[in-house]
Amino acid sequence: MSLPVHNEDDDHLCRSFGSIDHLDHNNVPMYENEDFLDRLEHSKPLSKIISITKHIPDVEVENSKDQEFFSNDDNKVVLNSQLEDQSGIDFQNNDLSNIHTHKSNKESVSSKLMNKTTSRVISQLITGDSNQSHLEDDDNHEVPQGRHLGLFSTTIIFISRIIGSGIFSSSAIFVNCGGNPFIYFIVWSVATFFAIFGLYLYLEFGCLIPKNGGTKNFLERSFDKPKNMTSVIFGIFSVLTGFITTSAIVFARYMLSLMGYPNADNRVVNLIGGLTVVVTTLIHGLYMKKGVQIQNLLGIFKLFTIAIMIITSLIVLFVPDLLSPDLVDDMYWPPFFQFETNTLYSFSQLPAAFIQALYCFSGWSSIHNNTAEIINPEVTIRKAGIYSLAVTFLLYVSLCFAILKVLTYDEIANSGSLLGYFFFKKIYGENLGGKFVTLTIALSALSNLFVCLFGIGRMNQEIFRNGILPFSKTLSKNYRNSPFNSLLIGGFMTILLLVITSSSGTEGSGEDSSNAYTYIVSVESYYNQVILFFVVIALYIYRKKNKEKGKPEAPIKSFDSGNVFLIILSLYLLFMPFIMKDDSSMNNMDGFPPYNYMAVYMMFACFLYWLFKFEVIPRIFKYKLVPFNEYLDDGLKIQVWKKLPYTP
């Protein structure tokens, strides 16, 4: 019986190979002919082959595990769904009635069926060996939203994410350097090189895996054993830390300062920040295109803010005579190698300084959460990344040293998240510096909030698509062409954290929720450091896998020396907080463990979730969690898990 023909390509394939039960010149059945199977499996136009398993000779089953599998009707249904989804073959009217068991046969079903796709699916279903998600095998990187982000939008996302709330509230970095300008300079220089090397690391990985999800995909493709562990730990932690609390706090504080309340109560700050998050979430969720347009507009304001900051900083550093004579008289360079005399400095604070500086550069990796929505991503991301880091470096170097020249150590230490406000107020006065420039900084923080939430929504959706969390199918759905439910989770986590931190701090003191801001930054940055360390290792693992499969190298290559630098610095930042205990109140929050312990506790909780959901409980109740694919109404492909009986 010949294969059904649906178009010219199908017809050509059928004429080339004849019927499915035809024997080739070596008297080998076509379903065992590797060339035929390769062409069949990769033939995109071969859309349907009705009931192909009816042409497979009766297959005899050797072992009891196979017998148990094929005697279960539910397994047959799942098998048909899997085969249809992975091979492009319609098994709707087919059953497995022609497959029977026979103890004397020497070959099991999983090695006998007609092609590699079928064999792989059956092997996974029988053994539960699905180390890699079916979604990860999917070469279709498109999403229902389509590719709508060009070079300008991508650059805006880069700049808005990198130059976010961190640089406007980086007083903790200088304090953690003991007020020593030399150490301060070293910290910022290391952070800059770190960002450059990290950018190229992600550019290479992004070329190899051009999908929405970024870091999630990089780790899952490389660390596929133990089964599902990487997906679960990274996925849950990313959802739990998928908040934009720092941007919300900075925006609210600067807006209140603009209205004359720089020392507003923390509860008021968090309330305004929470309302801003709600509005941002609704805009991105209900009006995706409008949300992108708004963040582009805010990005233009941010570019304007950056220009003001760079020009101001250069004037302070090189032509201070253009400023007020009184201000010039107050300016001075602190001794470059000297610690602040009024402080008792401990080098245990240095890792926190590095982590907080790296947080100010952290946006270089976030764009890969949106890769599938970028037009020509390989070229666009490379150009946008280089432009953005060049602008960022110029801004950070000039601004940080201008701040040291204008503000005293005590003014910096007591500024909290309002460092930019006090800096520009002192230079330009109450009206221009205290109002206008403060407004531009507030809008810059709002831009960061829009961009971060945009990326968090896409990252959450990719995690929910894997089906590892409760209600994943519902949460992964698109609404009005946007991952609305995933955006809601990011907004909810932000508001929850604002509520938790709003009760601490001294009322009316202007303290940032008893250093909650710095603590949150440190926890998030420490976790990011853990992830970056494993991403570097993952790149070399994935390169080896690609080479073994005969796939081409990425058109953009990272620097091996830079990757070694990332590994060494990451190890230092990860282990030093445990070796040298940091007792500084600035890096801790009342009622919570130190930031490094908090990050480790959260990751361990994610590990326990994976252990019990995928290993312990299935063994106790004798079932296997087997993934298979479904399509939502808009064509979005998701993964769901089905319990199948299993006897070890």
DSSP codes, 112-161: HSSSHHHHHHHHHHHH----S-HHHH------TT-S-B-HHHHHHHHHHH
**Helix or strand holding residue 640 (H, E):** strand 637-645
Measuring CA to CA, how many Å separate 244 from each of 233, 280, 406? 20, 11, 30
Is 630 among the domain residues? Answer: no
Q: What share of the chain is helix, strand, coil (3-state, %, to 5)?
A: 65, 5, 30
Q: What are phi and psi of 626, to 5 degrees?
A: -115, 125
pLDDT at 541: 92
Cβ distance 125 to 86 under 8 Å?
no
| 450 within some domain | yes
How many whole angstroms separate alpha carbon 573 and alpha carbon 563?
A: 15
- Residues 46, 117, single domain; the answer is yes
Domain match, 320 and 454 both? yes
Tell me the pTM.
Answer: 0.67
**Residue ranges for the chain with pLDDT beneath 70:** 1-146, 164-170, 213, 341-346, 369, 503-515, 517, 582-587, 647-648
Q: For position 344, what pLDDT does the model report?
A: 61
Query: What confidence tens digit (pLDDT) does each residue in 197-229 have?
Result: 988 898 888 888 877 767 888 888 888 888 889
Q: Which of 92, 111, 127 is the last residue of a domain?
A: 127
Q: Are residues 115 and 157 in the same domain?
A: no
CB 291 within 8 A of CB 432: no
Closest residue by Cα to residue 53 from 111, 92, 13? 92
Same structural domain, 110 and 195: no
pLDDT at 56: 38
Residues 354 and 472 in one domain: yes
- The residue segments making up the domain with residue 122 are 8-127
616 in a structural domain: no
pLDDT recorded at residue 584: 64
The CATH number that applies at residue 318 is 1.20.1740.10
Domain identity same for 414 and 295? yes
Both 186 and 111 in a single domain?
no
**pLDDT score at 371:** 77
Q: Are 361 and 192 in contact (CB under 8 A)?
A: yes
Phi-psi region of 149 (alpha: psi -120 to 50; beta: other; left: phi over 0): beta
Domain count, the chain: 2
Looking at the structure, do residues 78 and 175 belong to the same domain, yes or no? no
Q: What's 57's DSSP letter?
A: P
Q: Is residue 427 part of a domain?
A: yes
By C-alpha distance, which of 69, 56, 123 is closest to 101? Answer: 69
Question: How far does CA 277 lie from the centroid of its chain?
Answer: 20
Q: Please tell me the distance from the alpha carbon of residue 457 to that of residue 480, in angstroms, as a whole number.
A: 14
At 217 the pLDDT is 83
For residues 286 and 176, membership in a common domain is answered with: yes
What is residue 564's three-state secondary structure? helix
Q: Is residue 316 part of a domain?
A: yes
637: which DSSP letter?
Answer: E
Whether 628 is covered by a domain: the verdict is: no
User: Residue 605's pLDDT is what?
Assistant: 93
Question: From CA 396, how far away is CA 73, in angstroms rounded?
Answer: 64
- Evaluate whether residue 637 is within a structural domain: no
With beta carbons less than 8 A apart as the criterion, state whether 294 and 301 touch. Answer: no
Distance CA 531, CA 453 (A): 20
The reply to whether 475 falls in a domain is yes
First CA to last CA across the chain, in angstroms?
A: 40
Q: Does residue 168 share a domain with residue 109?
A: no
Q: Please check whether residues 272 and 348 belong to one and the same domain.
A: yes
Per-residue pLDDT tens over the stretch 504-546: 554 444 454 546 767 877 888 888 888 889 999 999 999 998 8
**Exposure string (b/e) for 128-146, b if CB count within 10 Å is 16 or more?**
bebebbbbbeeeeeebebe
pLDDT at position 168 is 60
In a shared domain, residues 602 and 509: yes
Q: What is the pLDDT of residue 374?
A: 83
What's the pLDDT at 493? 92
